[in-house]
Structure 1
Amino acid sequence: MAKQYWIGEFFVDLSRNQITQNKQPQLVAPKALAVLTCLAEKQGKVVSQNTLLSEVWPDTIVSPNSLQRSIAQLRKALGDDGKGQIYIKTHSKQGYSLECNVRWQPESQTDLHAKPILPECQNKIGHLEKNNDVPTKLLNWRTTLTFLFITLALSSLIGIRYATSDESQLFSVGEIRALTASDGREFASIYSPDGKYIIFHRFSMEECVNNIWAKNLETQQEYKLTEDIDSYGTHSFSPDGKQLVFIRTMDCEQPTTQKKCYQLISMDFKKALREPQPMNVLLECKTSEIRLPHWLKNNDIALLHRESTRSQLISYSPKDKQSKVLYQVDNGNIIYYDYSVKDDLFSVISIHKDSKHYVEILDSNGELISSNPIVFTPDSERKKYLVANFSPIENHLIFSTGRQFFTLSYNGEVKNISIPLDQPTFSPNFHPDGERALVIKGNYDSDIAVIPMNHLRSEQLSVNSHIIDRSAVAEDTAIAEPIGNLIAFSSNRSGNEQIWLKGNQPLVQLTKFPIDSYISGMHWDERGESILANVNNKLVQVHINGEQQHYTTPHLILELLHWHRASDKVLTFANIRGVQKLTEYDLKTSQFKVVTDKRINWADKTNNGLLVYTDNMDRFWLVDGIDAEPITALDNQGGDNKRFIIKDSTIYGMNNELELWSYNLINQHFNTLGSLPSNTINIDDIDKENVLITVRIASKKEVVEIVLKE
């Protein structure tokens, strides 16, 4: 059977799940297209409901409602309101028929601009609309002229609004304005369904928790919605705008498989505008994780649900207190999803078994409409996690890599668009009118400090006196040269994240990576001649003279954990079919192996090859040969997903009380070395008698609204 055919002036492409008219494609669910194809194969004849159900849903028991929904989708795509029944006719108690002639497209021909047949259904349209006193030819001319006039008028309006059909012109920004301006850190902002309010989180740097706030865009008045400060996640409105739903993360009272528990919370929004409201717990997860709630049109709540290492898209009914799986990827994983209230569609970003990113469009029941691999441009690949949201551009999502924005079509095509923002931003959330959007814009300020260990017990410790080279931007991942006095670290001080060297001489920028690059892990070789870094999910060896050697790996590298230069073995977190796994990569032979399938928080190796890792309960394990043995002396010393490092045979780590400790694997001796500054983010390296740490100076994030040009 041909995969493409014409129904009047509509071009049906089964391979793309599209119906196209006048170069304007519409995505249609595969089952609906299968119904249309069954009718097309028997054009002009009545096809019974039982026949359609058995052919389209073989070996599946479904109700006639499924068929009726498909017919409604088809009529909408064909511009048929169902009353005139121009294309698809209902025969009471019998079935349906396709009343329009069909022209099947040869498989070798894919030109959808070929002249379509304008058959009897087109004449029926004329018959329904014409005055009997008007001659048919004159009517046809008037219809043609009217069509041309409307087309020209629409083209003019589109030209005025968008200038061209190119996506870079669709996002011509007319104004950028800040909506929040406190000393706090604001993020996770959305519009209310009526567009009158924005909802956002205000974060406390001292307590590392947040409250949920609302702001009236007309009066500029702000409202604190939650009674208590806590750890809240992203939020969503009910379709009527009366309820707000969000995720609360907290420590499990009796952890079994994970330390954190998750609650789905709802709140009366109107009441919260008068005074902070208590939380209504809809759902609690103690052995799995839920995130990204979206309230659906049918009043169910969609969630991304993770058990073990893989995520699935589910819907939860607060009324029935039941959940069901909407979509999951076989031998792959879902990375992110968004929901369009306007179109009642899901967009899903996933990684499949071929390790490629896919963009997938689902209907509200989770039925797959389209699935296409994403064709990244070189500059759009520089993104750790692809967060793509629905946009006003038809059949397009939008995402950010930092200071660059990109459109992502439902077919997987990526294009760069220009938005004049000088600081990294998160992907935008659009106003219901599509004319403006919210982004989170700001700057994170952290520095590298080198502190002698004998100073850690001093009550007079001042971290400011130990910062190696102060800047007002993010700096981290400091590593000390093994046999010299150089310190390498990553910094944004030149506008993009680069590797810098600090020694007795002035500061030196070692690399010139492109815009929106990011570095996840660096290690010196044993001779201090080069640095291996994970840059944009790829391993790059950077020599002191600036020369670079790039390595090709079969999977994306999420984090570089350890590099043993003598054997050229690299310990990494790698993205394998959308799941983070602990892996080892041989730079010489290009061999790649998974070390363990367990969910790992962090890992490192001793000089003689012993592996130490922490699991998702922050317990330490030592792997000597095949078996992994728990290091019970380090129970409760792992902190909340904190990093550790190994020097020779000694582990150095930081607990939740910000105490630096050491544990010798040979004599099994544990020692508390002293207290680190309260603004310590990570311990980066141990340099003889010094500890290199990343300290937080400030974090400024604010909600910004971008207004598109008319």
Structure 2
Amino acid sequence: MTTNNNLEHTQSLAKAGLPQFQFGDFTFDLGQDELKQNQSLTITKLEPQVSQLLHLFVTHPGEVLSKTYLQETLWPNTIVEQNSLYQLLTKIRRLLNDSSRSPKYIKTLPKKGYCFIATVSLVVEETKPQAHTEDRAQLPSTAPNYLWLWLVPALIVCFSAYAFFSRYDGEPPVLHYELQDVSYDLGLESDVDVHITEDLIAYVKDIYSLQIANKQGEVLHQLDSPYRVAFPTWQRSGSLLAYWRYKEDQCELFIMTPQGAQNHQAPSIACESAIRPVWKNTDELVLSVWQKGQLIPYLYRISQQDFVKLPLAIPRQSLYKGAVKAWNSDVFYLLNHANHTSSLIKLNGERVMNWGFPVWLAAYNPHNQAIISNDSSQRHALVATHVDGRQYEVFQTAQGLFTNVSIDQDGDIYTAIESWQVNIRDKDQLPIFSTSSIDYLPVSNRLGETAFMSRRSGVCEVYLHADDQVVRLSHHKGYEYVQFLEWRPDLSMLLSNRDLDLALYDRQGQVLQFTTELNEKIRNIGWFNNDTVFAFDGHQLHFYNLQGHLTHSQTLDAQLVYFDVAAKRWLVLKNRILYSHDALENSGIKLAELSNQQSNLLHNIRLKNNTLYWQSSWSKQDYIWRLPLIEQSQVEMVKQGNLIWHFDISPYEELTIAKMEALEGDIKRLAVVTTP
């Protein structure tokens, strides 16, 4: 069958019998423009052109399709940039969890085109099926009938679902709540945890104190620490309390009694941060620790003082976000996926719950067996989700933002509601922009303009402050996170990331967004010259032109790679030693050796007047440093403090800081209301 006849044949099948294409772990429904992940049963609705491109691939398996052919087929009689095809390919690869380096589905053949390398089966279900009849075709050749294998996972899923749901008698009730004050002192109360059965709560007061109180808010004991403490967590059976303490670049786990007596101290573990521990039983906890930019789950045994990394089955391009103890006192694991959805899984990877938005805050309600989580707004409301898929809003606040939740056996929810203001201040210490957003990236230029990022609208947006006016340059609706913002050397454009993508802006708005094709989290980005940008993930350095095309790449293992456009040199930080290179292929000149404190969690790079500035974290304190880029210079500390989100240096070396101010947090109870 020729290419054209093959396409016409499948199109005729679409009219007659709605074909479905099976390949790898996926099923593509041409009639509905839907892609189903067979293991999780997750269905994604495809954009029309994404569906058309995938259709071209699955109807031509094993064939090399040139860029010209694909462009002419997708955009007939239309002139488009090559980047348009590139963007569609990127979307398909993300949906398929495919990699251009190690492809399972779409292989790139340089200067030739693309080839769909997976075996494709065409299953056609007749619109009026008859018993024991099925029209099945194999592309490009015949293959065994695997339809009976589809029934096995289907039966397993059905049986598992029955067993899972049958644990509960009747339909779980929908609960209603009223907001009550538990603590309302001045200052910040956060990280609350309630004991599931006893009249006890614990929370952090003003970062350095741990308070134990009853459910009415009467303080029973206070522990003051020289270091920051976080995430107290009660045993379910028993009354011991675990909590974290951050010391230098280590996380220390302590266990204490309600009276304040220390019961246990675990060995220190290297970390950047940690999140709430989960008691698995009286001797074991599931600990989630940030290490090298990733959240890693460990099993910790108190009796053995032993950390064991959990072999959690995490899909590619998904991120672990924490553990939840839920049904039958089992521990489940929260994942965020590349398509900005979330799921709760078992250790073996089996999914038990899904959300259509990123979930970072989750707790189990033993009263009605629901998971209480953040909603799609991320922080302004809580929703309940049941195992049968029912979901409804629990509570919405206009007072601040939900930052954590904990639930007792009666279904009462204890939560910290925090409010703050983050100001970007100019050289006169006057705020040029203020909001309750928690993320900023102020970056000024010689024209007196300041670009910055804010989540004021609920998503990361880029703004420009110029001539006493603030202009919004981006208008996004997704959850992509912005961590970097850089001016073009001639000051005519801005460069930012959006997760693993890069975006370009002029003074009117966003010009282009394209993928980096990096496999790991971006460490830093920048401009090589007015026509070339780069992105670095710790192992790969990629270069792109302003049309978003990857021009070349280089392998390099380092903590930091940054280009000094004015001096035309590379700055490379490796093993805490900062080098200057005129070319990365050449040996570098040692500029300075940084201490652990100066290099721990190094970020927010700024380069002004031949001086390098950066930010680090030590014992959860924020530090800003400066280093003149000449031999035998000494590193100087510029600023130290808590909750410094970002900073900038003006062309005149004046420090601008984006810092949380007017910080308040109170412990609230969402008490179950009995309805008549």
Offset, 1:569:
1.9
Offset, 1:222:
1.4
Offset, 1:221:
0.5
Q: Any idea what SS the aligned residue of 1:239 has?
A: coil
Q: How does 1:13-412 map to 2 (within 5 A)?
A: 161-162=173-174, 173-204=176-207, 210-218=208-216, 220-251=217-248, 260-269=249-258, 271-272=259-260, 277-278=261-262, 280-285=264-269, 292-297=276-281, 299-304=283-288, 312-329=296-313, 335-340=320-325, 343-350=328-335, 359=343, 361-362=345-346, 368=348, 370-371=350-351, 377=356, 380-381=357-358, 386-391=360-365, 394=369, 398-400=373-375, 401-403=378-380, 405=382
1-side partners of 2:669 and 2:553: how far apart? 46
Aligned equivalent of 1:570, options 534, 538, 541: 534
Does structure 2 retain, via aligned residues, the 8 Å contact 1:404–1:416? no
Larger radius of gyration: 1
Aligned equivalent of 2:504, options 523, 528, 541: 541
Distance 1:531 1:278, change over 3 A: same
Does structure 2 retain, via aligned residues, the 8 Å contact 1:440–1:701? yes
* TM-score, with structure 1 as normaliser: 0.59
- State which drifts further: 437-446 or 628-637: 628-637
Offset, 1:194:
1.3
* TM-score, with structure 2 as normaliser: 0.61
Structure 1: which 5+ residue stretches go unaligned?
1-14, 19-104, 117-150, 163-171, 205-209, 252-259, 452-464, 574-579
CA deviation map 1:148-204 (0-9, x unaligned): xxx9x956xx6xx43xxxxxxxxx753223432222222211111215222111124
Question: Which amino acid in 2 is paired with 1:268?
Answer: T
Question: Which amino acid in 1 is paired with 2:287?
Answer: L
Does structure 1 retain, via aligned residues, the 8 Å contact 2:442–2:646? no
Does structure 2 retain, via aligned residues, the 8 Å contact 1:402–1:516? no
* Alignment of 1:436 onto 2:439: no
Distance 1:472 1:419, change over 3 A: same
Query: What residue number does 2:71 align with?
Result: none
2-side partners of 1:614 and 1:564: how far apart? 18
Aligned equivalent of 1:706, options 657, 670, 673: 670
Distance 1:498 1:646, change over 3 A: same
Distance 1:640 1:179, change over 3 A: farther
Distance 1:603 1:241, change over 3 A: farther
CA deviation map 1:355-396 (0-9, x unaligned): 99874533xxx5x27148x9764xx25x7xx44443566575
Q: Any idea what SS the aligned residue of 2:283 has?
A: coil
* Alignment of 1:612 onto 2:601: no
Question: Which amino acid in 2 is paired with 1:196?
Answer: D
CA deviation map 1:556-578 (0-9, x unaligned): 866654244624323255xxxxx
Q: How does 1:495-506 map to 2 (within 5 A)?
A: 498-506=461-469
Offset, 1:470:
5.6
Query: What residue number does 1:446 align with?
Result: 422
2-side partners of 1:630 and 1:350: how far apart? 42
1-side partners of 2:635 and 2:272: how far apart? 35
2-side partners of 1:446 and 1:311: how far apart? 26
Does structure 2 retain, via aligned residues, the 8 Å contact 1:239–1:299? no
Does structure 1 retain, via aligned residues, the 8 Å contact 2:271–2:291? yes
Q: How many residues align?
A: 504
Q: Any idea what SS the aligned residue of 1:638 has?
A: helix
1-side partners of 2:292 and 2:640: how far apart? 33
1-side partners of 2:509 and 2:349: how far apart? 48
2-side partners of 1:108 and 1:491: how far apart? 47
Q: Any idea what SS the aligned residue of 1:502 has?
A: strand
Query: What residue number does 2:598 align with?
Result: 638
Query: What residue number does 2:484 align with?
Result: 521
Q: Any idea what SS the aligned residue of 2:515 has?
A: coil
Does structure 1 retain, via aligned residues, the 8 Å contact 2:524–2:561? no
2-side partners of 1:637 and 1:326: how far apart? 29
Distance 1:290 1:492, change over 3 A: closer
Aligned equivalent of 1:421, options 397, 404, 426: 397
Does structure 2 retain, via aligned residues, the 8 Å contact 1:388–1:397? yes
2-side partners of 1:288 and 1:511: how far apart? 31
1-side partners of 2:182 and 2:194: how far apart? 12
Distance 1:407 1:16, change over 3 A: farther
Does structure 2 retain, via aligned residues, the 8 Å contact 1:237–1:243? yes
1-side partners of 2:336 and 2:539: how far apart? 14
State the percentage of identical aligned residues.
10
Structure 2: which 5+ residue stretches go unaligned?
1-37, 42-146, 159-167
Does structure 2 retain, via aligned residues, the 8 Å contact 1:265–1:283? no
Does structure 2 retain, via aligned residues, the 8 Å contact 1:604–1:645? no
Query: What residue number does 2:611 align with?
Result: 650
Does structure 1 retain, via aligned residues, the 8 Å contact 2:235–2:282? no
Distance 1:683 1:582, change over 3 A: farther
Does structure 1 retain, via aligned residues, the 8 Å contact 2:271–2:290? no
2-side partners of 1:425 and 1:540: how far apart? 30
2-side partners of 1:395 and 1:291: how far apart? 21
Offset, 1:680:
5.9
Distance 1:229 1:286, change over 3 A: same
1-side partners of 2:444 and 2:313: how far apart? 43
Does structure 2 retain, via aligned residues, the 8 Å contact 1:538–1:557? no
Does structure 1 retain, via aligned residues, the 8 Å contact 2:579–2:588? yes
2-side partners of 1:540 and 1:292: how far apart? 34
Query: What residue number does 2:104 align with?
Result: none
CA deviation map 1:232-253 (0-9, x unaligned): 23232233332111222213xx
2-side partners of 1:109 and 1:398: how far apart? 34
Does structure 1 retain, via aligned residues, the 8 Å contact 2:184–2:666? yes
Does structure 1 retain, via aligned residues, the 8 Å contact 2:385–2:392? no
2-side partners of 1:639 and 1:523: how far apart? 21
2-side partners of 1:692 and 1:268: how far apart? 44
Query: What residue number does 1:663 align with?
Result: 628
